Structure 1
């Protein structure tokens, strides 16, 4: 490994922050460039659930469980990261589908507990409507997204990384490979470029002649004013997913990634908040504060792109929807591949080459 390798990371959301931290920790000379500064654009609009749940194939489940473990490792290396392994209570599927999910994931080693009404009430005593059947995964958690990204970037800067705010106009080439980035008309020369710019990734990749097949659906999430403790962990009820943040806000969406904002997002947000408040006991004083509409960067097959750009030297692409869950592992794996040429086997299905260019 060359301790003097220079790397520009484009993007300061949770993925860019993790990659920048891991690269700097491993001895690279890192410059982080972003339009919005620490926290990025998609990251602040995230529900921030760390999990390996839902209807994913086992190969993707394995990547996600590894990512959960890497978050615990990262929390030891960067004390004070706002992580909470608060558990997730799920009952937003019909009982037969919920049981099928529990059986499958249990056979894979996921720590699922099947619960009835009484146990659900012990887990979340402030729910008005308790389910007759739910599943509970105590090892699931959350990372307060912006605070976590800022903490990783701050520690990366302490270790020697440099952060700057600016718009990347294009990638620069020399001898058939990426050799730098052009920011506000000025060139930053580098050995490697990592693009972790969320929904902005396709435009940057296009300057290298790479077309990224990406969808960017919107997701609306409502945020209350800070309030006393009402929820212990994540709750996934039918068409209502909610949790309480470290500062006491109840955040909710009709889906964990946020629901369709409709033609009038403000009205949709008010309606959703009314439903959220009605779902909680002792919430008379709970007040609506604001809503966000985030645009999720989702490759068209639903799975991450984490790889070098084939045919373009010096360029590494990372774009995915599951950024909060995967960030710690992506940072570690991308660093090893960039600095040591070692690609982790868990990344095998997620190369850019799977899409016809």
Structure 2
């Protein structure tokens, strides 16, 4: 008989977990308080990468997930990554050479470009940098679209997706999690329950006495009005302004790729970002602010993912991380393998939710 698995959360991580479990032959129920597509997912800059100062082991884990995105593209219609490449010169001068050398040694496809090279990559830049680093294998995705396409594939495979359904607590029997109770008191039973609820993870775990220390810092992203033409080819990381163009044509920007804390001054920060975009990108002068998002990043306290079963709790599996868009494919694949086959991949060893830094 197929193992019944409840996935709490329908963002990009929950969708990937559900899809990989469905492929493994499990009976899947996905529950989400919203419309599907997630909360943190919708507020993401959605850059698929393995860079930015990560230790080598985490770098390779992220690189493995980049390959997983290519598999998802081949499996699911509607999942479309733009492998456009990313160019950065938002690196302190004293760190530039070390950053390049380190990532090149690790096997990342990073190359240095001069002013002319930067201009060839991004002709729309008003003032191309004199030196930058370009990684052709990086990409971007429209994350809510991707999550919903994956959820549609789950349904097509026989799974069930329940949107507009808030999980209030986990249900236990004799110390084992047997599912979850919704806001209206309905019990959804399952053999295994996976929590992929982003910023709600901490609160839900507390309903069964499990502690997981998290930092949920806010990040503002400015979304411009729609440009009538393609202004950027790929991802651009300039000092104080990281920007990309969506498939729809909006320029989205943050003061870093995750967005900064607006501290109650969302309009002022968004206006500053728009001004930086206009100074950076040719053809953007007539754009205005389309809308502003402020997302809270669901980050375990030490900055690395929490993936696995909490100590002393049967029937429950935790998946929470800030780099959800990049990591969704590999997390889905490895979680499904552990739940369906009982095999825990060695690459998950550093990310157990019971590690000392998180409890």
Task: Confirm or deny: 8 A CA contact 1:89 1:135 kept in the other structure.
Answer: yes
Preserved CA contact (<8 Å) 1:88 1:141: yes
Q: Which residue is equivalent to 2:288?
A: 287
Whether contact under 8 Å (2:29, 2:160) holds in the other structure is yes
Q: Is contact 1:199-1:296 (8 Å) kept?
A: yes
Which position in structure 2 is the counterpart of 1:320? 321
SS in 1 for 2:319: strand
- Looking at structure 2, the residues matched to 142 and 272 of structure 1 have their Cα atoms a distance apart, in angstroms, of 20
Do 1:145 and 1:324's aligned partners in 2 also have CA atoms closer than 8 Å?
A: yes
Q: Secondary structure at the match of 1:84?
A: coil
Identify the residue that residue 175 of structure 2 maps to in structure 1: 176
The answer as to whether partners of 1:208 and 1:312 remain within 8 angstroms in 2 is: no
TM-score normalised according to structure 1 size = 0.97
d(CA) in 2 for partners of 1:217, 1:48: 17
CA deviation digits over 1:120-156, x for unaligned, max 9?
A: 0000111112111100000000121100000000110
**Alpha-carbon displacement from aligned partner over 1:306-343 (angstroms, at most 9, x marks no partner):** 11111100000000000000000000000001111111
Q: Is the 8 A contact 2:46 2:325 kept in 1?
A: yes
Find the residue that maps to 2:354 and give its secondary structure.
Answer: helix
CA deviation after TM superposition for structure 1 residue 282, in Å: 2.1
Cα deviation for residue 36 of structure 1 reads 0.9
Partner of residue 35, structure 1:
33
SS in 1 for 2:226: coil
1:215-226 to 2 correspondences below 5 Å: 215-226=215-226
Q: Moved runs in structure 1, 4+ residues, more than 4 A? A: none
Cα contact 1:298–1:304 (8 A) shared by 2: yes
Local SS of the residue matching 1:339: helix
Cα deviation per residue 1:151-208 (whole Å; 9 max; x = unaligned)?
0001101111111131111111123210111012010111000000000001111112
Equivalent-residue separation in structure 2 for 1:300 and 1:200 (angstroms):
15
Deviation at 1:345, TM superposition (A): 1.0
Provide the residue aligned with 1:248 in structure 2: 249
Partner of residue 73, structure 1: 71
Deviation at 1:98, TM superposition (A): 1.8
Confirm or deny: 8 A CA contact 2:277 2:284 kept in the other structure. no
**5+ unaligned residues in a row in structure 2: which ranges?**
none
Q: Give the superposition deviation at 1:89.
A: 0.1
Deviation at 1:285, TM superposition (A): 2.5
In structure 2, C-alpha distance between the alignment counterparts of 1:266 and 1:160, rounded to whole Å: 44
Offset from partner CA, 1:213-243 (integer Å, 9 cap, x none): 1001000000012211000000000010000
C-alpha contact 2:77 2:149 (8 A) present in aligned 1: no
The Cα offsets for residues 258-277 of structure 1, whole Å up to 9 and x where unpaired, read as: 11213321121112112112
**What is the 5 A alignment of 1:164-203?**
164=162, 165-183=164-182, 184-203=184-203
Q: CA RMSD in A?
A: 1.1
Deviation, structure 1 residue 74:
1.2
Q: CA deviation at 1:284?
A: 2.7
After alignment, is 76-85 or 323-332 more displaced?
76-85
Give the Cα separation in 2 of the matches to 1:132 and 1:279. Answer: 14
Pick from 137, 140, 144: which aligns with 1:139?
A: 137
- Give the TM-score taking structure 2 as reference length: 0.97
- Confirm or deny: 8 A CA contact 2:180 2:188 kept in the other structure: yes
Aligned with 1:188: secondary structure?
Answer: strand
Whole-Å Cα distance in 2 between the matches of residues 90 and 267 of structure 1? 25
- Aligned equivalents of 1:315 and 1:56: distance in 2? 28
